[in-house]
A = this chain, B = another copy of it.
Amino acid sequence: MPMGYRMGLVAMKELGVEREKNHRMFALTEMGEGHPNTCMNDGIQASTGCTYGKLLMERLSYGKFAFVLYKPGKGAIRVSVKPDFIDVVAKHEFSSLRKSGVEPSEIPPGVADAIVEIVLKAPDSEMFKVERVPGFRFERPAARFNRARCSKCGEYLFERYARQVEGKTLCIPCSGFVESQLNVPKGGL
């Protein structure tokens, strides 16, 4: 998280922008899933204001230690963590404990504090590669405010997500058009 927080600060400085108060900047993270270090994204959310809830953060899912800060009209900056610095962090006792299955809240405070201090004290030039990304684009569909009401469950939904079944307006769950992998149990309890 502290590393992501700093990545956000570096990117904002390079792009010449402030923490986002509205909906005009995007943090596209190269982190994916099924690996550690993704909490970097929470640090990026915090420092840039590009939160997932505001639809300003999304995963590119390359499994890399990097993210792109993009502000329409200002351009895009990619900040990645240098391999040598990743080695420093990976060799630390904190990483060994996490790799052996110790959850974050069970890491001894002294160990967590030590790695946080390393991450907070290292100079930008030692930690980060910073580069412009010419031509980078990312767009969201424009927000539309119209709501529909599901004729089965009676709940509101936004029109974009309304479905039709036998001429009736339904929400996705009531329509039965839910993607199967979300509800099919895999493995045991």
Interface, chain A (partner B; CB < 8 A): 1, 4, 21-24, 32-36, 38-45, 51-55, 57, 60-66, 73, 80, 83, 86, 90, 99, 103-106, 135-145, 147, 149, 154-162, 171-173, 182-186, 189
Contacts and interface: CB of A to CB of B under 8 A. Distances in A.
Given A34-B158, A41-B51, A62-B172, 11 more contacts: A22-B103, A24-B103, A32-B158, A33-B141, A34-B143, A38-B55, A42-B54, A61-B161, A135-B183, A135-B185, A139-B186
B33 A55 contact: yes
A4 B61 CA distance: 27
Contacts of A86: 147, 156
